[in-house]
Amino acid sequence: MLELDPWQRHLCARLERIGEERGARILIHAPPQHGKSIIVSQRFPAWLLSRRPQERVKLACYNITHATRFGRIVRDLMAGDEYARAFPDPALRLPTVTSAEEWSTAARHKLADAQPSFKALGLVTGFVGQGADTLIIDDPYASPQDALSEAIRASTWMFWNESARVRIRDDANVVVMFHRYHEEDLAGQLMAEGGWEELRYAAQADGDPESPDPIGRPEGQYLSPRFSEGYYDAQREQTLVWFGQFQGRPSAKTGDLFDVTKIEVVAAAPAGLTRVRAWDKAATKGGGDWTAGVLMGFDGKGTYTVLDVVREQWGPGERDAGIRLVAGMDGPEVRIVGPQDPGQAGVMDAAQFVAMLAGYMAETHPVTGDKRVRAGPFAAQVNARNVKMLKGDWNGAYLKELKGFPRGRNDDQVDASADAFNALVTQANWEWS
């Protein structure tokens, strides 16, 4: 008999408790090829039905073909002689001929309510009018690229929020298996809504106090002795794969592009700084993107200090009034930098930005290219410990956004920081030439 790893025994024990409880909401991560789907999507439904023969189990994947593969395995397992010997109750027997996509136990069939014991679902096809006592979601995204697509993330969330949630009762059990690629992927949004129990079996324990290891491994310990350190090291070479699929987080604990642990928080700003306030504009009152204004200073010796961040969800009129108000508080000696988006509309908006800031040193710069490339020079200075941050109540949101970039929910403060930094560098180069 195959010996289970400690994490697998821990997971099995947690799933067994579902046989005696209702209303569980569980998020489970484990690396690829470590047996997670075998336990949760193949063995668990057969075991659960042995405890509750009338249970309605739904298994959803990124498409119905993938979910049906699991359904075929569960069906064949329950139709086998070994299962019949282990669980001889006649209520568990299946029809001689049945599809892999949908089937019922004898106990469920006897109810004659057109509700199957097992039903494979695709995240596009949805529930089609049926409820569930236990819902399992495995592989909600076909690939990392799908998870990074805003449209596909929205479609996946719609499956949960508008199809699944409305067809299951509060006492239904829901088990979601996940990898993490983006802060707003399915697992990230479920965590944000609250009420979910997270079991993140990372390939290598990372000591994150916000997401502690379920089996209490010390930091640095690998998950399974079945895989060599060389195997794990090879996966680590692909950053997106390592963090998303093996660690179960969208970025490193300290940040992906920005290592936020290298930003020193200071109680007072140094004197004599050259200062620039850069704005990343939005017009989304009450939701969506933020208007962010980052005030940054340079001491002329290689150190940059983030002095203040204004971050609001303003409508267009409020935004312009807010930017003028902040300009007055900063003073006329502070350069103000705004974005110039591509196209004629961007040119006109840039001209309006400068005009509304008459009396101040206002300018705009074209915004082009990949955001990650645009933020790269500022990130390099952060990671070299050349960036400090003035202590303020805005620090937490600012560091969180830098840490999550470029797969975070927002990037407005990052964009504004990159523009402020680039403006300071340009000015310093001009002054020294």
Residues 166 and 35 reside in one and the same domain: yes
CB-hemisphere CA count at 13 Å for 20?
4
Residues 346 and 315 reside in one and the same domain: yes
Measuring CA to CA, which residue among 361, 367, 338 is closest to residue 351?
Answer: 338
Record the tokens describing residue 5, joined without a space: 């790893």
Place of tokens 């082009």: 368
Whether 393 maps to a domain, the answer reads: yes
Residue 291: give its domain's CATH number: 3.30.420.240
Per the CB < 8 A criterion, the answer to whether 62 and 140 are in contact is yes
Residues 98 and 15 reside in one and the same domain: yes
Per the CB < 8 A criterion, the answer to whether 404 and 183 are in contact is yes
pTM of the shown model: 0.70
Residue 81: give its domain's CATH number: 3.40.50.300
Whether 1 maps to a domain, the answer reads: no
Whether 394 maps to a domain, the answer reads: yes
Place of tokens 């093996």: 246
Give the pLDDT confidence score for residue 274 in this predicted structure: 96
Residues 100 and 10 reside in one and the same domain: yes
- Residue 404: phi, psi to the nearest 5? -80, -15
Distance CA 342, CA 368 (A): 8
Q: Which of 213, 247, 281 is the last residue of a domain?
A: 247
Q: Which of 186, 212, 247 is the last residue of a domain?
A: 247
Give the pLDDT confidence score for residue 285 in this predicted structure: 66
Whether 425 maps to a domain, the answer reads: yes
Distance CA 26, CA 45 (A): 15
Distance CA 410, CA 422 (A): 20
Question: What average pLDDT score do residues 421-430 get?
Answer: 78
Is 255 a residue whose pLDDT tops 70? Answer: no
Distance CA 132, CA 373 (A): 46
Query: What is the tens place of the pLDDT at every residue in 162-198?
Result: 888 888 899 999 999 999 888 789 998 999 899 999 9
What's the full length of the chain, in residues?
Answer: 433
Residues 179 and 57 reside in one and the same domain: yes
Question: What average pLDDT score do residues 397-423 get?
Answer: 89
Question: What percent of the chain clears pLDDT 70, i.e. is strictly above it?
Answer: 95
11-24 exposure pattern, b = at least 16 Cβ within 10 A, e = fewer: beebbeebeeeeeb
Residues 273 and 237 reside in one and the same domain: no
Whether 252 maps to a domain, the answer reads: no
Distance CA 305, CA 299 (A): 8
Per the CB < 8 A criterion, the answer to whether 53 and 89 are in contact is yes
Name the average pLDDT for the chain. Answer: 90
Give the pLDDT confidence score for residue 386 in this predicted structure: 95
Distance CA 129, CA 126 (A): 9
Residues 19 and 136 reside in one and the same domain: yes
Q: Which of 190, 225, 247 is the last residue of a domain?
A: 247
Residues 386 and 290 reside in one and the same domain: yes
43-47, 106-110, 226-230, 258-262, range with the lowest pLDDT: 258-262
Per the CB < 8 A criterion, the answer to whether 291 and 412 are in contact is yes
Instruction: Tell me which DSSP letter residue 142 carries.
Output: S
Distance CA 375, CA 414 (A): 7
pLDDT band at 128 (very low <50, low <70, confident <90, very high): low
Give the pLDDT confidence score for residue 254 in this predicted structure: 63
Residues 59 and 170 reside in one and the same domain: yes
Whether 254 maps to a domain, the answer reads: no
Distance CA 181, CA 245 (A): 8
Residues 236 and 269 reside in one and the same domain: no
Residues 316 and 295 reside in one and the same domain: yes
Whether 210 maps to a domain, the answer reads: yes
Query: What is the tens place of the pLDDT at every residue in 326-369?
Result: 999 999 999 999 988 877 777 788 899 999 999 999 999 887 77
Give the pLDDT confidence score for residue 286 in this predicted structure: 62
Distance CA 237, CA 321 (A): 47
Give the pLDDT confidence score for residue 371 in this predicted structure: 81
Whether 255 maps to a domain, the answer reads: no
Range of the domain at 428: 260-432
Whole-angstrom CA distances from 114 to 3, 76, 135, 335, 373 are 40, 22, 18, 69, 55
Q: How many domains does the chain have?
A: 2
- E strand intervals along 228-386: 264-266, 274-280, 291-298, 304-312, 335-340, 362-366
Residues 242 and 313 reside in one and the same domain: no
Measuring CA to CA, which residue among 415, 266, 419 is closest to residue 336?
Answer: 419
Give the pLDDT confidence score for residue 215 in this predicted structure: 97
Per the CB < 8 A criterion, the answer to whether 75 and 118 are in contact is yes
